[in-house]
Amino acid sequence: MSASKVLLILGSGPNVGKSVAQAFIAKGYKVAHTSRKSRENSNTADEINIAADLSKPESVAEVFTQVKEKLGIPSVVVYNAAAYNANEPKNPVSLPVSTFAQDLTINVTSVYAAAQQAVAGFEQLPNPASRTFIYTGNIMNDKVVIGPLLTLGVGKSATAHIIQNAAAAYAEKGYKFYYGDERQPDGTPMYNEISGEAHATAYVELAEGAEQGPWQYTFVKNQGYKDFSQT
Protein backbone atom coordinates (compact mmCIF):
# COMPACT_ATOMS: atom_id res chain seq x y z
CA MET A 1 0.00 0.00 0.00
CA SER A 2 2.81 2.43 0.83
CA ALA A 3 4.11 2.23 -2.72
CA SER A 4 0.73 3.44 -4.05
CA LYS A 5 0.22 6.36 -1.68
CA VAL A 6 0.99 9.09 -4.20
CA LEU A 7 -0.97 12.33 -4.59
CA LEU A 8 -0.80 14.45 -7.74
CA ILE A 9 -2.14 18.01 -7.51
CA LEU A 10 -2.68 19.69 -10.88
CA GLY A 11 -2.68 23.40 -10.18
CA SER A 12 -1.14 23.57 -6.73
CA GLY A 13 -1.71 27.00 -5.22
CA PRO A 14 -1.06 28.54 -1.78
CA ASN A 15 -4.53 27.87 -0.36
CA VAL A 16 -6.26 24.63 -1.35
CA GLY A 17 -3.21 23.07 -2.98
CA LYS A 18 -0.91 23.70 -0.05
CA SER A 19 -3.42 22.58 2.58
CA VAL A 20 -4.35 19.42 0.69
CA ALA A 21 -0.69 18.50 0.22
CA GLN A 22 0.08 18.93 3.91
CA ALA A 23 -2.90 16.81 4.92
CA PHE A 24 -1.92 13.95 2.62
CA ILE A 25 1.73 14.11 3.66
CA ALA A 26 0.54 13.66 7.23
CA LYS A 27 -1.20 10.48 6.02
CA GLY A 28 2.02 9.11 4.58
CA TYR A 29 1.57 10.16 0.97
CA LYS A 30 4.25 11.33 -1.42
CA VAL A 31 3.08 14.46 -3.24
CA ALA A 32 3.65 15.90 -6.70
CA HIS A 33 2.70 19.54 -7.25
CA THR A 34 2.23 21.14 -10.66
CA SER A 35 2.20 24.83 -11.46
CA ARG A 36 3.17 27.10 -14.32
CA LYS A 37 6.44 28.12 -12.66
CA SER A 38 9.17 25.63 -11.92
CA ARG A 39 10.02 25.12 -8.25
CA GLU A 40 12.14 22.03 -8.74
CA ASN A 41 14.91 23.40 -6.53
CA SER A 42 12.69 22.66 -3.55
CA ASN A 43 12.14 18.99 -4.45
CA THR A 44 12.66 16.27 -1.86
CA ALA A 45 12.49 12.50 -2.06
CA ASP A 46 8.81 12.55 -1.11
CA GLU A 47 7.58 15.89 -2.49
CA ILE A 48 8.28 17.18 -5.97
CA ASN A 49 7.31 20.14 -8.13
CA ILE A 50 6.67 19.93 -11.87
CA ALA A 51 6.22 22.87 -14.21
CA ALA A 52 3.15 22.34 -16.38
CA ASP A 53 1.02 24.49 -18.67
CA LEU A 54 -2.52 23.13 -18.46
CA SER A 55 -3.58 25.29 -21.38
CA LYS A 56 -1.85 22.55 -23.39
CA PRO A 57 -3.72 19.27 -22.76
CA GLU A 58 -0.95 17.28 -24.37
CA SER A 59 1.30 18.24 -21.44
CA VAL A 60 -0.85 16.29 -18.97
CA ALA A 61 0.43 12.87 -20.06
CA GLU A 62 4.01 14.03 -19.55
CA VAL A 63 3.17 15.16 -16.01
CA PHE A 64 1.84 11.70 -15.16
CA THR A 65 4.93 10.11 -16.69
CA GLN A 66 7.22 12.23 -14.54
CA VAL A 67 5.25 11.50 -11.38
CA LYS A 68 5.32 7.77 -12.08
CA GLU A 69 9.08 7.84 -12.66
CA LYS A 70 9.89 9.92 -9.58
CA LEU A 71 7.28 8.89 -7.00
CA GLY A 72 5.10 6.13 -8.41
CA ILE A 73 1.65 5.91 -9.99
CA PRO A 74 -0.72 8.52 -8.50
CA SER A 75 -3.48 6.87 -6.48
CA VAL A 76 -5.13 10.22 -5.74
CA VAL A 77 -5.38 12.98 -8.35
CA VAL A 78 -6.67 16.45 -7.48
CA TYR A 79 -7.41 18.86 -10.33
CA ASN A 80 -7.26 22.26 -8.69
CA ALA A 81 -6.59 24.52 -11.68
CA ALA A 82 -9.08 26.99 -13.13
CA ALA A 83 -9.05 29.87 -15.60
CA TYR A 84 -11.34 32.71 -16.58
CA ASN A 85 -11.23 35.90 -18.55
CA ALA A 86 -14.00 38.23 -17.46
CA ASN A 87 -16.64 39.03 -20.08
CA GLU A 88 -18.86 42.10 -20.10
CA PRO A 89 -21.61 41.34 -17.52
CA LYS A 90 -24.38 42.57 -19.81
CA ASN A 91 -22.86 40.90 -22.88
CA PRO A 92 -21.93 37.28 -22.08
CA VAL A 93 -20.67 36.61 -25.61
CA SER A 94 -18.26 39.55 -25.66
CA LEU A 95 -15.07 37.48 -25.37
CA PRO A 96 -13.13 36.50 -28.48
CA VAL A 97 -13.71 32.88 -29.43
CA SER A 98 -10.00 32.19 -28.97
CA THR A 99 -10.16 33.41 -25.36
CA PHE A 100 -13.28 31.35 -24.66
CA ALA A 101 -11.55 28.27 -26.07
CA GLN A 102 -8.38 28.89 -24.07
CA ASP A 103 -10.27 29.04 -20.77
CA LEU A 104 -12.26 25.91 -21.60
CA THR A 105 -9.06 24.06 -22.37
CA ILE A 106 -7.89 24.53 -18.77
CA ASN A 107 -11.33 24.16 -17.21
CA VAL A 108 -12.50 21.13 -19.20
CA THR A 109 -10.20 19.57 -21.79
CA SER A 110 -7.17 19.22 -19.53
CA VAL A 111 -9.41 17.82 -16.80
CA TYR A 112 -10.56 15.17 -19.26
CA ALA A 113 -6.93 14.44 -20.15
CA ALA A 114 -6.06 14.12 -16.46
CA ALA A 115 -9.01 11.80 -15.79
CA GLN A 116 -7.94 9.64 -18.72
CA GLN A 117 -4.40 9.38 -17.39
CA ALA A 118 -5.64 8.76 -13.85
CA VAL A 119 -7.82 5.83 -14.96
CA ALA A 120 -4.92 4.30 -16.88
CA GLY A 121 -2.88 4.48 -13.68
CA PHE A 122 -5.68 3.20 -11.44
CA GLU A 123 -5.83 0.05 -13.58
CA GLN A 124 -2.26 -0.74 -12.56
CA LEU A 125 -2.66 -0.17 -8.82
CA PRO A 126 -3.35 -2.85 -6.22
CA ASN A 127 -6.85 -3.10 -4.76
CA PRO A 128 -6.02 -1.41 -1.41
CA ALA A 129 -4.98 1.78 -3.22
CA SER A 130 -7.32 4.77 -3.01
CA ARG A 131 -7.84 5.33 -6.77
CA THR A 132 -9.60 8.67 -6.32
CA PHE A 133 -9.98 11.65 -8.68
CA ILE A 134 -11.18 14.96 -7.21
CA TYR A 135 -11.99 18.13 -9.11
CA THR A 136 -12.14 21.38 -7.16
CA GLY A 137 -15.44 22.82 -8.31
CA ASN A 138 -17.97 25.28 -6.93
CA ILE A 139 -21.69 26.01 -6.99
CA MET A 140 -21.63 27.39 -10.54
CA ASN A 141 -22.41 24.06 -12.20
CA ASP A 142 -26.07 24.19 -11.19
CA LYS A 143 -26.97 27.04 -8.85
CA VAL A 144 -25.36 30.38 -9.55
CA VAL A 145 -24.77 32.57 -12.58
CA ILE A 146 -22.06 35.20 -12.09
CA GLY A 147 -22.34 37.66 -14.97
CA PRO A 148 -18.69 38.24 -15.89
CA LEU A 149 -17.55 34.65 -15.29
CA LEU A 150 -19.11 32.86 -18.23
CA THR A 151 -16.08 30.73 -19.09
CA LEU A 152 -15.68 29.61 -15.48
CA GLY A 153 -19.35 28.66 -15.19
CA VAL A 154 -19.34 26.81 -18.51
CA GLY A 155 -16.16 25.00 -17.47
CA LYS A 156 -17.52 23.95 -14.09
CA SER A 157 -20.76 22.74 -15.65
CA ALA A 158 -19.05 20.69 -18.35
CA THR A 159 -16.58 19.14 -15.96
CA ALA A 160 -19.33 18.33 -13.46
CA HIS A 161 -20.88 16.20 -16.20
CA ILE A 162 -17.57 14.41 -16.77
CA ILE A 163 -17.26 13.69 -13.06
CA GLN A 164 -20.86 12.51 -12.71
CA ASN A 165 -20.49 10.21 -15.70
CA ALA A 166 -17.17 8.78 -14.50
CA ALA A 167 -18.42 8.27 -10.94
CA ALA A 168 -21.23 6.07 -12.22
CA ALA A 169 -19.23 4.23 -14.84
CA TYR A 170 -16.20 3.32 -12.75
CA ALA A 171 -17.85 2.66 -9.39
CA GLU A 172 -17.86 -1.10 -9.92
CA LYS A 173 -14.09 -0.98 -10.43
CA GLY A 174 -13.58 0.98 -7.23
CA TYR A 175 -12.45 4.16 -9.00
CA LYS A 176 -13.93 7.20 -7.26
CA PHE A 177 -14.67 10.55 -8.90
CA TYR A 178 -15.74 13.68 -7.04
CA TYR A 179 -16.69 17.28 -7.73
CA GLY A 180 -15.64 19.12 -4.56
CA ASP A 181 -17.95 22.02 -3.71
CA GLU A 182 -17.46 23.98 -0.47
CA ARG A 183 -20.50 25.91 0.73
CA GLN A 184 -21.58 28.25 3.49
CA PRO A 185 -23.64 26.49 6.21
CA ASP A 186 -26.86 27.67 4.51
CA GLY A 187 -25.76 26.27 1.14
CA THR A 188 -24.83 29.59 -0.44
CA PRO A 189 -21.55 30.11 -2.35
CA MET A 190 -18.17 30.63 -0.70
CA TYR A 191 -16.98 32.94 -3.49
CA ASN A 192 -13.44 34.03 -2.52
CA GLU A 193 -13.65 32.72 1.05
CA ILE A 194 -12.93 29.05 0.35
CA SER A 195 -10.98 27.28 3.06
CA GLY A 196 -7.89 25.28 2.22
CA GLU A 197 -8.23 23.49 5.53
CA ALA A 198 -11.83 22.47 4.79
CA HIS A 199 -10.84 21.15 1.37
CA ALA A 200 -7.96 19.20 2.87
CA THR A 201 -10.21 17.54 5.44
CA ALA A 202 -12.85 16.68 2.82
CA TYR A 203 -10.37 15.39 0.26
CA VAL A 204 -8.61 13.09 2.73
CA GLU A 205 -11.99 11.67 3.75
CA LEU A 206 -12.91 11.07 0.11
CA ALA A 207 -9.58 9.40 -0.61
CA GLU A 208 -9.89 7.14 2.42
CA GLY A 209 -13.51 6.16 1.70
CA ALA A 210 -13.94 2.58 0.56
CA GLU A 211 -16.72 3.27 -1.95
CA GLN A 212 -17.97 6.03 -4.22
CA GLY A 213 -20.01 8.61 -2.33
CA PRO A 214 -22.10 11.50 -3.73
CA TRP A 215 -20.28 12.61 -6.86
CA GLN A 216 -21.09 16.28 -6.16
CA TYR A 217 -19.54 16.46 -2.75
CA THR A 218 -20.96 19.58 -1.13
CA PHE A 219 -19.28 20.23 2.18
CA VAL A 220 -19.13 22.81 4.96
CA LYS A 221 -16.09 23.60 7.05
CA ASN A 222 -16.08 21.67 10.34
CA GLN A 223 -19.33 19.94 9.34
CA GLY A 224 -18.35 17.74 6.43
CA TYR A 225 -20.78 16.63 3.71
CA LYS A 226 -24.19 18.32 3.54
CA ASP A 227 -26.84 17.60 0.94
CA PHE A 228 -28.03 20.90 -0.52
CA SER A 229 -29.76 19.36 -3.54
CA GLN A 230 -33.22 20.36 -2.28
CA THR A 231 -32.31 23.97 -1.45
Number of domains in the chain: 1
Instruction: Place 231 in a pLDDT band, splitting at 50, 70 and 90.
Output: confident
Q: Is residue 129 part of a domain?
A: yes
DSSP state letter for 88: B
149, 140 contact by CB (below 8 A): yes
Q: What is the CATH number of the domain that holds 58?
A: 3.40.50.720
Residue 152 has pLDDT above 50, yes or no: yes
Q: What pTM did the predictor assign?
A: 0.96
Query: What does the alpha-carbon distance between residue 196 and residue 204 come to, in Å, rounded to a whole number?
Result: 12
Q: Is residue 230 part of a domain?
A: no
Other CB atoms within a 10 A radius of the CB of residue 131 amount to: 26
Q: Is residue 150 part of a domain?
A: yes
What mean pLDDT, rounded, does the chain reach?
95
Residue 209 has pLDDT above 70, yes or no: yes
Residue 146 has pLDDT above 90, yes or no: yes
Range of the domain at 83: 6-225
Mean pLDDT of all residues in 61-87: 97
Residue 140 has pLDDT above 60, yes or no: yes
Residue 182 has pLDDT above 70, yes or no: yes
Mean pLDDT of all residues in 66-91: 97
Q: Is residue 231 part of a domain?
A: no
Q: Is residue 158 part of a domain?
A: yes
Q: Is residue 167 part of a domain?
A: yes
Instruction: Place 1 in a pLDDT band, splitting at 50, 70 and 90.
Output: very low
Q: Is the dihedral of CA 71, 73, 75, 79 positive or negative?
A: positive
Q: Is residue 214 part of a domain?
A: yes
Q: Is residue 67 part of a domain?
A: yes
Q: How far is CA 106 from CA 42, 225, 227, in A?
A: 26, 27, 28
Instruction: Place 3 in a pLDDT band, splitting at 50, 70 and 90.
Output: low
Mean pLDDT of all residues in 134-157: 95
Q: For the segment 8-19, what is each residue's pLDDT rounded down to a tens digit?
A: 999 999 999 999
Q: What is the pLDDT of residue 203?
A: 98
Q: What is the CA radius of gyration of the chain?
A: 17
Q: So which residues are the catalytic ones?
A: 156
Query: What does the alpha-carbon distance between residue 10 and residue 33 come to, in Å, rounded to a whole number?
Result: 6
